[in-house]
Chain A
């Protein structure tokens, strides 16, 4: 198992390098550079050139990339052009917020989607099945920020059940303070995830339920929850886990808009700010960490596959 994990980690290194190189290249090709913006509107050519030198923007491309990679390898992702804060530190502040949001959303999606998919799969063609299919099609068509806005209007403004904006860490206002700020945005993020997950669960379970081992389980008098939740679900879990791993990438995407709607100071809003201000080191760091998160999610999925499918174990 350890060998398998270390192999996968090694395989992730070239992927990270490529992603970083690509971002570096794109940012380099953007018209106008940060020096122009930082030196101020009325700066002279000379001042701009000086700023460029100070920022290290005048050295050759590969040299700059190499410098970045070698410090990134030591956990130093550079310094924000505007705040002067370390990029690693900035991301370290914001990422836990988005991670909270993502985890709560993921948990909500799983808790809702797996039972819905199971209900649909065990009664194909029934009213319940058709309701699940229609509801998931609808949910997939609603973008997270739209769902977020509706939730704010209904539950925060009209009904005043939950706060509309902001975020508090558990350490500040306790578990409920933390959770109450996350419920609405998490639902907004979870909507599409739950829909896709329910669809995948339905399809995978439907397939598993038609297999001979399910007939065996029934012929041995096992109860329907055992037949579905144990025998069929463990076999259906591989595609479900695949979708879950993909969803972790989507959480980062959804976080951008949802954090904006709910004014949550997370990773998504950090990314938006970085792009707006063309804060090159910060953009570079955000992309790098996003890739890291996605790769970690995939690695986790691979480890889970091994547990689910004994044939894959070494």
Chain B
């Protein structure tokens, strides 16, 4: 997974990203000052509870937020190029060619009316300008690479003739067929059962090892994170609250929310005995508390500071960021020693 750092500049760098949606009650902010970076050939896991803004973040990176129903500020740099403000005519060329994407529900993400081969081949024709025949052979090769048995024959089949796990591998084939530098995977294994999930994760790791693919892996499953990630970015209520390399994060989280997540995740911890839950629930969009957004649920919250001072993302070590106002005073419990 980890490669020698030849090019020190990260492949993907997101800074100060804020997104608002138009709703009946006017503009509602769903992302607020999100920032993280993803190195070349590395995997960054974006974790957070449901509604924290993970999918919106990935769509913002793709430039796929509804143009009239949303607005965005901040910066998204891919391989040194700024994507925010780039005209749609250029942005559309990066989608599928520089960035590939797979989604949570593989079967519904494939078009039921076309063969799987056609759905991969059309991407090659679109971006690489290959002939129908050559694009089709590329599609078959790619299906083979994602371990679809009898790829040449199966390419002529329709999505409903495949299992959920196979559909996700077909999606992966379509996302990677133009050899993008970045793969965004939005909860790609959540809808799959455990053995199928393990195979999918291994396949992604193997494909990454053969190229210098970077993966933005969105999930709320910490077991998957420890399996896949080099780095982790934690989101809470539309903000990024912590980013760290996985080993460091597991040993010594720098934000109480991360510590709470780790403690309530039996898979990573190994023992259910020490499991604690974070009290309360995620505040709704547009209803975020002042100060640190986590303070009402935080056992370390201090009145007069955490409920009022603006919480900003601070550098807390090499490649580490935390939004906790008291991060320097706290020593939080990880799950590994």
Contacts and interface: CB of A to CB of B under 8 A. Distances in A.
A14 interface: no
Interface string A2-33: 00000000000000000000000000000000
A311 B113 CA distance: 9
A219 interface: yes
A212 B105 contact: yes
Contacts of B92: 221, 223
A212 B112 contact: no
A220 B174 contact: yes
Contacts of A219: 62, 64, 95-96, 99-101, 175
Interface in A225-281: 226, 231, 234-235
Contacts of A64: none
Interface in B156-171: 158, 160, 171
A222 interface: yes
B215 interface: no
B325 interface: no
Contacts of B109: 212-213, 215-216
A30 B109 CA distance: 60
Interface in A263-311: 308-311
Contacts of A231: 111, 113-114
| A interface, size bucket | 20 to 34
Interface residues of B, number: 29
A215 B94 contact: no
Nearest to B108: A212
Nearest to B184: A219
Interface string B114-151: 10000000110011000000000000000000000000
A210 B62 CA distance: 18
Contacts of B108: 211-213
Interface of B: 62, 64, 92-97, 99-101, 103, 105, 108-114, 122-123, 126-127, 158, 160, 171, 174-175
13 contacts: A212-B105, A218-B95, A219-B100, A219-B175, A220-B101, A220-B123, A220-B126, A220-B175, A221-B123, A226-B126, A231-B113, A235-B113, A310-B160
